[in-house]
Amino acid sequence: MSPANPPDDPEWMETWKEHASAFDRVKSVTMTLSEPQSAPWIAEQAAVSPNTARNHLRRLVELSVVTETADDGTSHYYPDPLYTRLRDIRALLEETTKQELAEQAAELKTDIAAWKTEYDADTPDTLREQAATDTVSAEQAHELTRAASDWELARYHLSLIQDAITNYDTWASDQSSLSV
Amino acid sequence: MTDRRDTQESQSDSHQYTSSHSRADRVRSDGGTTLGRDRHRILRELRGELARHPAVLSVEGELPSEYRELQATLASSWFGRSGETATLRIAWIPDPSPGPEESDRTSDAWMRTPIQAYYTIHYSEPSGFDCGFHCEPNPHIDGLLHYQERDDVDDRYTYEPATFDARSASGFLWEVMDVLADRLSR
């Protein structure tokens, strides 16, 4: 970011800049992406110069936090899925005992079973397909989409817990075995 | 107090949805899904951004480690409000499918929301006052993104359109907090 702030920066951006560093803003914008974006796009959203964004993104790529892909000769950036998965597992290992993990897994399996029964569906994809039909209203589609998303979140979380339980004794006793 | 009343009252409107593409290829072999992972990742990052904000006293996921929603405790005084604390509830469903039909994405339904997600950012005070920004279908207003407010739990919400400039989820959160402060100081 240049020392002189652009005169048209909105107030909320000034507040953000006051409470988060340029690196933190670049990282945060990138970690909330739903699709890969270029350095100039990330720079604009993080209120930094394109070169500053590229420097920070290069560092995040080196740390395996972010992946870089080339699309028509332009680099695009996106959160590294392995990094996010290992980070989430590490959080589970730090915050939860093996017994608590087992209890959470049971609760998630109960939730998933309830969705299967309530919607007469085997996967959340079925709910999304139901939501996409022409006869479903916008509110019904929204409700089905929300239920599908909750289901997908539960499945993801369950997969994390299962990984954590399987490797608990190794990873919890030797945190250095986790690279993030 | 919650803002559930308005969603419970939701009825159908004229929006028609269609699936833009199959999600089957997004299911991972380990049982997790990229959609579930993305929602978890975004909420986790928003939690970090909330923790930086000067109005926020604490923030937690509604369920430990799951983050289906975030719940923050705010200092009311930062917004110039009476009372000691207020709460902020954040729900986020990224990349909703189905979304509005492609032809609708240039219409009012999506024009006011450059971030394609369903979300709720809702502020509540112990006094009964609550308000928030919602991006979801609601029969009481055209378009998805709107502001709603009521003085008491027994009152009906008033609705009005809302617009934002930020195109990232984290920037959007800071913009919402700024607009919320303007609203609450009126």
pLDDT in the model for residue A175: 58
Measure A89 CA to nearest chain B CA, in Å.
Answer: 10
Contact by Cβ (8 Å): B5, B157: yes
Chain A contact for B174 (CB, 8 A cutoff)? yes
CB-closest option in B33, B116, B138 to A152: B33
Size of interface A-B (CB pairs under 8 A): 176
Compute and round to an integer the Cα radius of gyration of chain A: 21
Label each residue of chain A as H, E or C: CCCCCCCCCCHHHHHHHHHCCHHHHHHHHHHCCCCCEEHHHHHHHHCCCHHHHHHHHHHHHHCCCEEEEEECCEEEEEECHHHHHHHHHHHHHHHCCHHHHHHHHHHHHHHHHHHHHHHCCCCHHHHHHHHCCCCCCHHHHHHHHHHHHHHHHHHHHHHHHHHHHHCHHHHHHCHHHCCC
> Token pair 């009521």 is at which residue?
B150
Question: Model pTM greater than 0.95?
Answer: no
Interchain CB distance below 8 Å, B137 and A131: no
Per-residue pLDDT of chain B (186 residues; tens, 9 = 90+): 333 333 333 332 223 323 333 333 343 434 445 888 999 999 999 999 999 999 999 998 766 556 789 999 999 999 999 888 999 999 999 876 655 554 454 455 555 567 888 899 999 999 999 999 999 888 888 778 899 999 999 999 999 989 899 999 999 999 999 999 999 987
Measure B154 CA to nearest chain A CA, in Å.
Answer: 23
List, for residues A15-39, the tens digit of each pLDDT value. 999 999 999 999 999 999 988 999 9
Interchain CB distance below 8 Å, B168 and A29: yes
Interchain CB distance below 8 Å, A155 and B19: no
Dihedrals φ, ψ of B146, to 5°? -155, 165
Check pLDDT > 60 for residue A65: yes
Chain B contact for A123 (CB, 8 A cutoff)? yes
Give the chain A residue nearest B169 (alpha carbons).
Answer: A32
pLDDT in the model for residue B115: 85
List B168's β-bridge partners, or say none.
none
| 3-state DSSP assignment of residue B102 | helix
- Please give the ipTM for the structure prediction: 0.89
Residues in chain A within 8 Å Cβ distance of B14: 138
Residue A29 identity (one-letter amino acid): V
pLDDT in the model for residue A180: 52
Residues in chain A within 8 Å Cβ distance of B12: 137-140
Chain A contact for B28 (CB, 8 A cutoff)? yes
Residues in chain B within 8 Å Cβ distance of A88: 40, 44
Segment 108-137 of chain B within 8 Å of chain A by CB: 116-118, 136-137
